[in-house]
């Protein structure tokens, strides 16, 4: 970072609460920490609201947060930016360099009413085309935004990985499976329970940990555990942090992340950093996090989303003798992650993108998303 850049500073605008356990909020916090460690003067602005469907008062609060007459670049979390196209456009027109950081395209959230999903998609397209530039947290997400919204130049700043000790796992006792994700339809905890119900003949325990993002869905997951006769084997742990989370990781043998949609899946790299294989869904950014392009054995498995049969087959294989190759590959991945890919690399990618000052496209006159205009991207 140059002295001029450090002096000008950077504003990061995020949704409340700042300490949320979501992947997006965790990314934002770690990015800010890495930027400051690298010498950047970073101001964090936390905006409350029912994002991505805010009230007029909440949109006005975002508009105020985007005003930075001191010349600072503004990186705004995509959950906020995508929901407020008029506010983003007004800030850019006033000379503010607004960079949208997208964690997950809004319409990919599972369980949305089709009309709501379409409206969110239209709003997001208008917002991202109005921004100074757009950043995504994986190549998969960048490609999705280009295709979905007709964007031309989307930057990528992949999540970093923090050093972690090798997990001891079950040590030849009963293997422990872990799903660490917000409890909501897009993470498909119901699919995990259905898959585990097919594995009652094997020895294992499972922990489904994470904050409740959808109370009705969480109740359905709990009921499914009981209906499958898995009360003594599957534990719904709720949010887990700090030392309790570290103990949970240390006892884990296999991570499960069969999300219906996933931009990256930071828990996948956190798992690999501990030498733990993972099972992820095809067609999501979690494949990229698992190392889909890496030569040699995959440190886990890739299965079709929303397919409990495939998931159970993969788990059965990885818990058996043939899982040794995946465990060895996870050890290789851990060593590769230790040699690079920290959050300083993420901060560097963000700063490089901001220096370029790229525009996502030239604002097509038709504000509908590419998927609705019928244009071949």
Considering the domain architecture, whether residues 118 and 199 belong to the same structural domain is answered as no
Helix, strand, coil % in the chain, rounded to nearest 5: 45, 15, 40
How many Cα atoms within 13 Å fall on the side-chain side of residue 191? 24
For residue 313, what pLDDT band results from cuts at 50, 70 and 90? very high
pLDDT confidence of residue 2: 53
Q: What are 218-233's pLDDT values in tens digits? A: 999 999 999 999 999 9
Considering the domain architecture, whether residues 44 and 139 belong to the same structural domain is answered as yes
Give the list of residues 6+ apart from residue 256 with CB closer than 8 angstroms, or none: 177, 178, 179, 192, 206, 278, 279, 311, 315
Considering the domain architecture, whether residues 252 and 359 belong to the same structural domain is answered as no
Considering the domain architecture, whether residues 132 and 212 belong to the same structural domain is answered as no
For residue 292, being part of any structural domain is answered with yes
Considering the domain architecture, whether residues 98 and 77 belong to the same structural domain is answered as yes
Place of tokens 């001191």: 70
Considering the domain architecture, whether residues 252 and 187 belong to the same structural domain is answered as yes
Joined together, the tokens standing for residue 193 give 């329970």
For residue 350, being part of any structural domain is answered with yes
Range of the domain at 120: 3-160+344-369
Considering the domain architecture, whether residues 186 and 324 belong to the same structural domain is answered as yes
pLDDT confidence of residue 358: 53
Q: Residue 370: is its pLDDT beyond 90?
A: no
Q: Residue 293: is its pLDDT beyond 50?
A: no
Q: What are 140-183's pLDDT values in tens digits? A: 999 999 999 999 889 999 999 989 999 999 876 899 999 999 99
For residue 166, being part of any structural domain is answered with no
Place of tokens 């930016």: 81
For residue 351, being part of any structural domain is answered with yes
Rounded average pLDDT over 112-117: 90
For residue 276, being part of any structural domain is answered with yes
Q: What is the CB neighbour count within 10 angstroms for residue 283?
A: 13
């Amino acid at each position: 970072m140059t002295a001029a850049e450090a002096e000008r500073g950077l504003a990061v605008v995020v949704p409340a609460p700042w300490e949320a356990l979501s992947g997006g909020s965790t990314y934002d916090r770690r990015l800010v920490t890495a930027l400051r460690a690298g010498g950047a003067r970073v101001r964090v602005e936390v905006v409350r609201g029912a994002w991505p469907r805010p009230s007029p008062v909440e949109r006005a609060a975002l508009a105020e947060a985007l005003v930075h007459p001191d010349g600072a670049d503004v990186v705004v979390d995509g959950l906020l930016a995508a929901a407020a196209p008029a506010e983003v456009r007004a800030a850019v027109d006033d000379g503010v360099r607004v960079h949208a950081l997208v964690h997950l395209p809004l319409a990919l959230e599972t369980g949305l009413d089709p009309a709501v999903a379409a409206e969110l998609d239209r709003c997001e397209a208008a917002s991202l085309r109005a921004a100074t530039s757009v950043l995504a947290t994986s190549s998969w997400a960048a490609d999705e935004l280009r295709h979905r919204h007709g964007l031309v130049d989307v930057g990528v700043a992949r999540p970093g990985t923090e050093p972690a000790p090798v997990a001891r796992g079950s040590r030849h006792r009963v293997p422990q499976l872990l799903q660490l994700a917000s409890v909501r339809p897009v993470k498909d905890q119901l699919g995990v329970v259905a898959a585990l119900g097919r594995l009652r003949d094997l020895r294992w325990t499972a922990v489904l940990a994470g904050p409740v993002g959808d109370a009705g869905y969480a109740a359905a997951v709990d009921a499914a555990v009981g209906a499958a006769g898995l009360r003594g084997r599957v534990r719904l742990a709720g949010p887990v942090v700090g030392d309790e989370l570290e103990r949970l990781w240390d006892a884990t043998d296999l991570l499960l992340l069969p999300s219906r949609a996933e931009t990256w899946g930071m828990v996948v790299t956190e798992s690999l950093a501990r030498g733990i294989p993972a099972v992820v869904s095809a067609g999501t950014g979690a494949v990229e996090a698992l190392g889909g392009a890496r030569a040699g054995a995959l440190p886990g498995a890739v299965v079709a989303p929303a397919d409990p049969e495939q998931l159970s087959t993969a788990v059965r294989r990885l818990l058996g003798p043939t899982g040794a190759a995946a465990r060895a590959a996870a050890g290789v991945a851990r060593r590769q992650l230790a040699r690079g890919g920290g959050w300083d690399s993420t901060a560097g990618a963000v700063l490089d993108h901001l220096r370029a000052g790229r525009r996502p496209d030239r604002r097509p006159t038709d504000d509908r998303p590419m998927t609705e205009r019928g244009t071949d991207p």
